[in-house]
Every structure is written in C-alpha cells, then in structure tokens.
Structure 1
C-alpha cells in the first residue's frame, strides 16, 4: 500500500498544493487502493496487484482529463541553467569563505612565527593585514551567499532538476569524503610539528607550522562541506528555500498547508509582542532582575505553538 501512496505522491510533485489538487490526489489514491484490494481478492499476489494497478492508471494527464481536473502545473520553475549558475556561484563563495576562515588561522601562525624570529613589528603588521583580508573575504562571500539564495527564493524545483541535483551530489560524494578525511587528519596531526621540534628542544618553532596544518585542514573541511550541502537546496524541498527562518509564500503553503497563514502570523507578530510586553513590564515594575524570565517563558511557548501549528 505504501508503494501506491508513494507513486501517487510522485504523480503530483509538479502541481501546486491547492485544495483541488489535494482532493484529486485523495480521489486517485482511493481508486487505486480499491482496485489493489480487489486484485488481492482475485488471488493476485501483492507485487502483481501493485504492478497491475500502476500500469493500468497511465499518466497524470490522462487521469486529470478522466476526473475533470483543471489545475495547472507549477509556474516560475527553476531551469537547469539557473541551477548550474547557482552552483558555480556558491562554489566560488565557498572557496572565498573557506579561505577567509583559514586565513584567520594563518594570520595567527604568521604572528607566532615571525615573533619567534624576533621581528615583532613585522609580525604584527602582517598579522593585521592577513586578518583584515580574511575577515573581508568572510563578510563579502557571506553576503554573496545570501544574494545568490534570494535570486531563487520560493521558486518551484521541477522533478527533473531534483533528480539532476541528486546525480551531481552523488558524483561529488567521493571528493567530499576525501576532503573531509584529509582535513580532519591534518587537524589531528597539527600537534605533530610541535612534538617534532620538541625533540630538538625547539618546540616553539612547531607552533606556526601547527597553524599552517590547521588552516589547510579547516579549509578542506569547510570547502568540501559547503559544496556537498548546496545540492540539498534542490533535493530536500519542493520550493527553493533561501532562509529556513523566513519561508516564502509557496514554501510556507507547501510545508504547512492550511496552517500556513497561522504560521506566517506567528513568525511576524509573536516576538515583537513579546518584546513589548517584556519592556513594558520591566519599566512599569522596575523588576529588570527577574523580568528576563518573560523571554524564557516566551521561548518555550513559541516552541509549543510551532508544534501545535502543523500542516493540515
């Protein structure tokens, strides 16, 4: 029976989550399940019955005409070129972000290394230069990530695009595993230079090398992890989600169904009201030392309301 349900869900993947579509989906599922049970009563095996039911029902277009359904396929879908452009842009952003984070570690390595050499002024100068460039790279590429996400936000992800993203992710899996393993190994082995130089009573010379190991290891871990996860944007959801905490109208409707409006209002007005209550109560009573409990209780209540407002 689960096979039939999954098949029906697949048939309707490219259609909006409206009441008409839901009614049609339920009607088709009921017809298929009744036919499946009838075939079992005739003596068919479970696999034979499932195969016959699926083969006899044909395509979604034929079913739509037969049932008199007038819904349209989802518009404004993301095409393959847009997905590839997004992946390329995010890959470049991942490289810049990873280099920025690694650069911060490298800056510390430069400071300690040149400091050991007795050129403290040069060490400080290079430290701040490398650190400034690294932080700039982190900020810039972080902003680019947000910009790239917003371009596709709340747009429909066709089934073919979903499958292509799965194929690309599977193809990248080996590279991700290699970068992850090497990165973790470098981080673990980062103490080895200190131990090596310690044998010659110069342990402090191993410190800058340690930071070099850490910088390379962290780069591989972050770069590989980001590149591996960006495919999920086209795999896990029906609509592209730029920010999990701020869903677009289509994604909100898909995720929460009839409860989407209530969920939207909760996200928009709940915390502003809580802040006003907190500030108002604190100013009126002057109990600043204990009024923070309002925020704690509000957080717990928010979690409860989120659990209550589920997809209908």
Structure 2
C-alpha cells in the first residue's frame, strides 16, 4: 500500500521531476520528488473536497429553484432581467476569453518543440499548459454559473417550466431504468459467470438511455 501511494505521488510529480531532477537545476533526489508529489496530491484533494462540501451546503437551500416551478414577487422578474441583460457582455467576454486561453495553452509546447528545447524546459511548458487550461476553465465555469443563476430565477433556457417538467419525468425514468439495467447485469453475470462479456451491457444501456431520453422529450413536446 505504501509503495503504491509513493508510486502515485511520483507519477503526479513527473513534471517537476523532469524540470528539476532530470534538468539538474537543483540537487533534488527522486525520493524527495516522490514525497513532494504525494504530499501535493493529497493536499489538493483535501482542498477540493473541502470546497465541494462547503459550496454544496451553501447552495443546497436554493436547489428547488432549479427543479420546481415558482412565481416571483412583483418587480423581481424585471430587476433580474435587467441584471441579466447587463451581464450578457461579461458572459460573452468570459466564455471567449476562457476558450482563447485553452487554445493558447499549447503555444509554449509548440515553441519548445520547434526550438528543440531541453527536456526540463518542455516539462515547464507542460506545467504552463495546465495552468492556462485551469485558468480558462475557471473563467468559463464562473461566468456560466452566474448566467445560470439568472436563468434559474427567470425560468429560462434549461430552467424553463417546460424543461423542469421534462427533467422531472426523466429523473423518475432514470432511477427505474438504471435499477433494471443493474438487475439484468447481475442476473446475466451470475447466471453465465461470464463477467468478461457481460460488461458490454453498460455501454449499450448508456446509448439506449440517450435514445429513450430523446424519445421522452419529443413525446412530451408533442403533447404540449
């Protein structure tokens, strides 16, 4: 177990290993690189879990806005529409900027490859690529969440009353569908003992569920 964890940490620290250890920029041994990588890995996981839990608890009180139909107080809809229109420019710039950062993230690696740079320079460029992608995705998610909050209050887009009805039906269907798929998988697997073949049920079930969801959406729209 300890060896497995150490190997995982060393794997996640491969970029730093290439930049510092192989490049001989500092006198850092492979053991230190593995330890630092393992510590950074679990530290980042801990921070991410903390953020997921605290954010989820803060937003839990407003989940009904995304699932249930409601009526706003007088003047609220107009105020939210005004703020939503004012935010459209920021939203567009945020999406465009995030996408541009993701596209430009490969430029340092291309330059390093064209210049035939040393391995440690290429490793640093890979680190830069990940940083630029992280920044771009962060911007996209942030502006999208704010835009979604306006849509939820206005009950527009994916939060419209029609979509909420469809989602309610699909949620009920999803629970029954995947429970049935699990029962079929287990029954088939234990009956034949061919676990090396029965796994094929899951990709088939996934594609079939997408088709069923599309049919349900189409039927509900026709009924309306």
Q: Distance in 1 between matches of 2:168 and 2:125?
A: 53
> For residue 222 of structure 1, what is the aligned residue in structure 2?
137
TM-score, with length taken from structure 1: 0.49
Determine whether 1:177 maps to 2:177: no
CA gap of 1:191–1:127, structure 2 versus 1, over 3 A, is farther
Q: Cα RMSD (Å) of the superposition? A: 3.8
Determine whether 1:271 maps to 2:178: yes
**Cα shift at 1:224:** 1.3
Matches within 5 A, 1:136-151: 136-151=46-61
Matches within 5 A, 1:1-312: 107-116=13-22, 117=24, 118-120=27-29, 121-155=31-65, 156=70, 159=77, 160-178=79-97, 180-193=99-112, 196=115, 198=117, 203-237=118-152, 238-239=154-155, 254-255=162-163, 257=165, 262-310=169-217, 311=220, 312=224
Q: Distance in 2 between matches of 1:122 and 1:222?
A: 31
**Cα shift at 1:189:** 1.9
> For residue 3 of structure 2, what is the aligned residue in structure 1?
none
Question: Cα deviations across residues 234-273 of structure 1 (Å, max 9, x unaligned)?
Answer: 34455599xx9xxxxxx6964264x776544312222112
CA gap of 1:280–1:189, structure 2 versus 1, over 3 A, is same
3-state SS of 1:309 partner: helix
Runs of 4+ in 1 over 6 A off after TM superposition: none
Q: Distance in 1 between matches of 2:136 and 2:169?
A: 40
Does the 8 Å contact 1:169/1:231 carry over to 2?
A: no
Question: Cα deviations across residues 146-184 of structure 1 (Å, max 9, x unaligned)?
Answer: 444433112257633244234224235335534543453
Question: Cα deviations across residues 60-108 of structure 1 (Å, max 9, x unaligned)?
Answer: xxxxxxxxxxxxxxxxxxxxxxxxxxxxxxxxxxxxxxxxxxxxx9954
Listed as ranges, the gaps of 5+ residues in structure 1 are 1-104, 245-250
TM-score, with length taken from structure 2: 0.65
Does the 8 Å contact 2:99/2:136 carry over to 1?
A: yes
Does the 8 Å contact 1:186/1:217 carry over to 2?
A: yes
